Each structure stands twice: as C-alpha cells, then as structure tokens.
C-alpha cells in the first residue's frame, strides 16, 4: 500500500468511526432524549422545552414574530400561526411543573376514582354505572378518544364555583380598542364537586351540572342586562334552560338558551365559544387527531395580566392594542377535531386541549381554530392565564382573545376569577337576576 492509499484508508476509517458515533447520537435526539407528547401527557416522561425541541435554535426569552416563526411553526396551531403573521409576537416561556395547576383535592379525586368512569355515547360520564353521578376528578387521565378528552373538560373542571369580574374589549382592524363591556359572571358546579362541601353532588340538584349568571355592568345602555342559565348533567336529554333580565323593560324573560351561535354582546365570541367550547356535546362529533407538543400561553404569566379594568397596564401590546406580548410554553396537547351535526356558523373547530397534568381550573381548551362553512380559517381563540394562587386556588387572572383572522377584528376578554367562594344554588337563581338588575 503506498502512502496515498494509506491516507485514503485513514480518511475512510475516520469517517466510518465518526458515523458510528454520529448515528446513535442523532437517534437519541429524536427517540431517547425527546419523549413523545403522549408519554408526557401520561406522566411517563419529563416535558421538554422549546430549546430541546428546536435543538437550541430557540431559547427561553426569545421573541417569535412573523420573521422567524418558521423556527416554531410545527408547534403552532394554524390560527396562532396566522395571528403571528398578522402581527402577534410571542415570548418563549416555560410550563409549570405537572399538577401545579389544579387543587390537590381534585388530583386526589382523580386518583381515588381512577378507572371508575363510564361514559355513554353522548359523552356523559358516570361513576361505575350509568346513572350514578361522577364524583369529581378527571375521569380519563389518559384519554383514548375525542369524546373522552371532551369528557375530561366537562366532568373534571377542578373547581366548584367561581366569580368573575370581566372586561370585554372590542379592538378594530387597526388595533384600536373602541368599545368595552363589563360583566360579572358566576358559576356554581352542582356536580363533580371536590373542593367544598357538599362533595360530589349538591343534594336536590342531581340532574344539574352547573348554574350560571352573567350580568352586564357597563356601559349604562346595557347595565343590569343579565342571563341565568342551567346546564344539565346529561345535556343530551335535558337541554339548557335560560332566562334574561332586560333592564330597559325591567323584567325577566324566558330565552332560548340553545342559541349557541349568537354573539356575546355583539363581540367575536359566541355563546358556544365560552371556555373554548361550551356547546352541548350531543350535537357535535369529536375526533382525536393526536397528542402533540404545542405552544400555548404560559399557564401562569410572570407578571400581572388582568385586573378589574381589563389588561394590566404593564403588558406590552402589538399591532396597536391588539395582541398582548406574553410567554408561550411547550405543552402536551390533545388535538380534537369537532364537527357540528347541525347547521352551524362553524364548519369545524380544531380544539387544543391541555393534557391532565397541566390543567388549570376549568381552563382546558387553550386554543381553538374555528373554520367557517367554506372550511376557511375564520377565528382563533386563545386563552391566557396571569397570576394565581397555587394549591389554594382562590384567585386566578384569566383572559382570552377571539381574533377574526378574516377581518382583523378582535375581542379581548380579561377577568379576575375568584375560585371556590362557597356559592350556594340560591345565589344563582331567577331572584338573583332581578336583584342584580336595575
């Protein structure tokens, strides 16, 4: 072998040895070090960061906008991607430790009742046998279908009641806020109670899931307008009941509470958009598309986000007053496609539902991409959380955006949630509508 042949042989050996090192290394990035989202959702692995997922190209604190959005594109919903292209900026943040989002009592109930959930074809969950109300906790910690994911949302809320003082802000295409409606909202869960006695179900209210009042307090034109509605435990058998108090008429009228597609106070949000998805399950079909890593708004913003007057002043806004610049964190998300079975303003909705270890009380749908009847992307719903009391959970800042991506119009919803106040059924009643009216 001459000298030249030796050198060639040496190069080949170095290359071969290098490959022997490199190939397993590459294999470990995709398979061994980065767990699947499902493994993280089912608590079998640790949650990776955006830095892990992007091989260091994106780090915590980086700002993502339309110029560099390709770096994280695969972790965004179609609606969020479009919002970024329309001017939204995202700060890369971090997720909270698992199980820090909801109260311990709810986690204990999940453990206690594990494997006891049975569900009918409409997504109504019972304890051990059909007819016995679910006692609380997340019924399907490792959901296998779209309906099980949705059942977790409805029957594993992790809160017994809450009071919200909220601001609904209308932002026009130019990013200028031009209208503000303020409201008080009260929810009382009569079933699946884990925090406050009576636990399980409120005696006498076995067929009710929750009662709710919503009272507008500003501007004067609508002040005192209120709605009282009841969601039944099995909403496929008993559809919602609703009443409204009209201050201009000074009286309470019965209203159809099944008009989910109408706008709330003229905003971009429909009644069915509340909490990401609020319509009865029986008129939708749900298909679990998968469990993926998705960037969602941080479950606890590191700065004050919302107060009684809306978004806090220190929050940076982009495109005028349109998009709050906040932190986003990688989270294992169940992606559910919802198709309406009835004539609907939406052609379909893609719901991004946070997996059990990363729940916040009653905030599970964190992103919803809503398509119009022509299946064009129409509106994106984004949920935000500010400060809250970990473990005790009596206070939480909450906000959401509904951004019409076709017109550029947006509705912002900012609130302070007071959790587990100890509301009683009589606090949410027809009497309350009159008392809160004017």
Partner 1 sequence: MNTNYFFKGKTWLFFFLFFFSGVTVSLAEIELIGETLTVTGFIRHQTVFNMGEKNPYNSNPQYDTNGYLASPPKKTGYGVQQDKNWCNLNRTWFVTEWNYRPADIFKLYSKIRVIEDSTTNVDGDLYEYNALALSTDHYGSTGRLGHDNHVTAEIWEMYGDLDLGNLWLRLGKQQIVWGEMISARILDVVNPLDKSWHFTWEPEEFENIRIPQWMLRAVYNIEPGSLPLLDELYVEGFLNPGDIVPTNDPQIGNPYRHNYQYEYNPNNPDEWGGIWRTTEENDRRGDREFGFRLGYKLGQFAGTLNYAHLFSDDAISKTTRLYGTIPAPWARYLGDAEKDYPRIDIYGMSMNYAFDQPVNTVMTIEATYIPNAPWYTIDGFYFPAGVPPVSLLPVVGMDYIDTREFNYAINLQRFSNIIPGQQFMNVTFQYQGKYVPEADDVKWTPGAPPPSYQNPRGDYGTNTGNIVEKINTDAFVLSLSQDFAYKTYKASCLIIWQPDGVYRINPGFAYTPGDHWRFDVFANWWGGNAYDNNNKSCLNYFYYQDEVMARITYQF
Q: Which residues bind partner 1 (CB under 8 A)?
A: 170, 178-180, 182, 203-205, 208, 217-221, 223, 230, 238-239, 241-243, 247-263, 265-268, 283, 342-343, 345, 409, 424-427, 429-431, 434-435, 438
Distances in whole angstroms, Cα of residue 178 to Cα of each of 29, 172, 322: 49, 7, 11
Beta-ladder partners of 404: 379
Output the smallest distance, CB 326 to partner 1, in A.
Answer: 25
The whole-angstrom separation of Cα 53 and Cα 34 is 7
Among the listed residues 133, 82, 46, the one whose alpha carbon sits nearest the alpha carbon of residue 332: 46
Distances in whole angstroms, Cα of residue 228 to Cα of each of 256, 257, 351: 11, 9, 27
Q: In a 10 Å sphere around its CB, with 0-12 CB exposed, 13-18 middle and 19+ buried, how is residue 180 labelled?
A: middle
Instruction: Identify which of residues 279 and 362 has a Cβ nearer to partner 1 in the complex.
Output: 279
Q: What angle do CA 151, 288, 372 make, to 5 degrees?
A: 95
Residue position matching structure tokens 């509470």: 257
The whole-angstrom separation of Cα 425 and Cα 427 is 5
The pairing of beta strand 125-127 with beta strand 226-232: unpaired
DSSP labels for 84-110?
HHTT--EEE--PPPTT-SS-HHHHHHH
Instruction: Identify which of residues 207 and 337 has a Cβ nearer to partner 1 in the complex.
Output: 207
How far is CA 183 from its chain centroid?
Answer: 20
Instruction: Identify which of residues 112 and 176 has a Cβ nearer to partner 1 in the complex.
Output: 176
Output the smallest distance, CB 224 to partner 1, in A.
Answer: 10
CA dihedral (292, 296, 302, 304) positive or negative: negative
The pairing of beta strand 241-246 with beta strand 251-255: antiparallel
Instruction: Identify which of residues 84 and 216 has a Cβ nearer to partner 1 in the complex.
Output: 216
Output the smallest distance, CB 433 to partner 1, in A.
Answer: 10
Output the smallest distance, CB 181 to partner 1, in A.
Answer: 8
The whole-angstrom separation of Cα 40 and Cα 32 is 13
Output the smallest distance, CB 284 to partner 1, in A.
Answer: 12
Instruction: Identify which of residues 97 and 219 has a Cβ nearer to partner 1 in the complex.
Output: 219
Output the smallest distance, CB 391 to partner 1, in A.
Answer: 26
Instruction: Identify which of residues 85 and 259 has a Cβ nearer to partner 1 in the complex.
Output: 259
Say if CB 414 and CB 311 are below 8 A apart: yes
- Give every CB contact of residue 47 below 8 A, 6+ residues apart in sequence: 40, 95, 98, 330, 331, 332
The whole-angstrom separation of Cα 210 and Cα 427 is 12
Output the smallest distance, CB 358 to partner 1, in A.
Answer: 33
Output the smallest distance, CB 243 to partner 1, in A.
Answer: 8
Instruction: Identify which of residues 187 and 284 has a Cβ nearer to partner 1 in the complex.
Output: 284
Instruction: Identify which of residues 284 and 352 has a Cβ nearer to partner 1 in the complex.
Output: 284
Output the smallest distance, CB 188 to partner 1, in A.
Answer: 13
Instruction: Identify which of residues 73 and 438 has a Cβ nearer to partner 1 in the complex.
Output: 438
Output the smallest distance, CB 59 to partner 1, in A.
Answer: 39
Instruction: Identify which of residues 39 and 184 has a Cβ nearer to partner 1 in the complex.
Output: 184
Largest CA distance in the chain: 104
């Amino acid at each position: 072998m001459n000298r030249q042949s030796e050198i060639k042989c040496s190069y080949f050996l170095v290359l071969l040895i290098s490959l022997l090192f490199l190939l397993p290394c590459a294999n470990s990035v995709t398979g061994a070090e980065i767990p699947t989202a499902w493994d993280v959702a089912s608590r079998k692995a640790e949650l990776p960061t955006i830095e892990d997922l992007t091989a260091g190209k994106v780090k915590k604190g980086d700002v993502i906008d339309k110029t560099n959005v390709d770096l994280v594109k695969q972790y965004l919903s179609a609606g969020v991607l479009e919002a970024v292209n329309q001017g939204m900026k995202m700060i890369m943040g971090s997720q909270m430790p698992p199980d820090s989002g909801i109260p311990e009592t709810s986690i204990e109930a999940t453990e206690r009742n594990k494997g006891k959930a049975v569900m009918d074809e409409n997504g109504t969950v019972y304890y051990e046998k059909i007819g016995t109300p679910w006692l609380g906790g997340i019924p399907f910690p490792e959901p296998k279908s779209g309906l099980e994911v949705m059942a977790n949302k409805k029957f594993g809320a992790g809160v017994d009641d809450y009071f919200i003082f909220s601001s609904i802000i209308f932002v026009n295409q130019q990013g200028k806020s031009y209208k503000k409606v303020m409201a008080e909202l009260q929810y009382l869960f009569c079933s699946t109670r884990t925090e406050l006695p009576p636990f399980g179900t409120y005696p006498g209210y076995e067929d009710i899931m929750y009662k709710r009042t919503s009272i507008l307090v500003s501007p004067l034109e609508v002040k005192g307008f209120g709605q009282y509605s009841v969601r039944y435990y099995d909403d496929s058998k008993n559809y919602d009941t609703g009443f409204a108090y009209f201050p201009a008429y000074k009286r309470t009228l019965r209203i159809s509470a099944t008009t989910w597609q109408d706008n709330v106070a003229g905003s971009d949000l429909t009644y069915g958009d509340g909490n990401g998805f609020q319509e009865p399950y029986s008129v939708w079909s749900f298909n679990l598309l998968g469990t993926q890593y998705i960037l969602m708004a941080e479950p606890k913003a590191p700065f004050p986000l919302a107060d009684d007057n809306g978004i806090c002043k220190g929050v940076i806004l982009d495109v005028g007053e349109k998009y709050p610049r906040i932190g986003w964190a990688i989270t294992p998300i169940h992606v559910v496609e919802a198709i309406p079975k009835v004539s609907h303003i939406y052609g379909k909705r893609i719901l991004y539902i946070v997996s059990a270890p990363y729940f916040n009380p009653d905030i599970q749908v964190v992103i919803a991409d809503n398509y119009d009847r022509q299946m064009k992307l129409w509106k994106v719903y984004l949920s935000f959380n500010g400060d809250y009391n970990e473990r005790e959970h009596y206070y939480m800042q909450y906000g959401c955006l509904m951004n019409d991506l076709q017109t550029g119009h947006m509705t912002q919803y900012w609130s302070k949630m007071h959790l587990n106040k100890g509301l009683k059924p009589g606090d949410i009643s027809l009497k309350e509508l009159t008392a809160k009216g004017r």
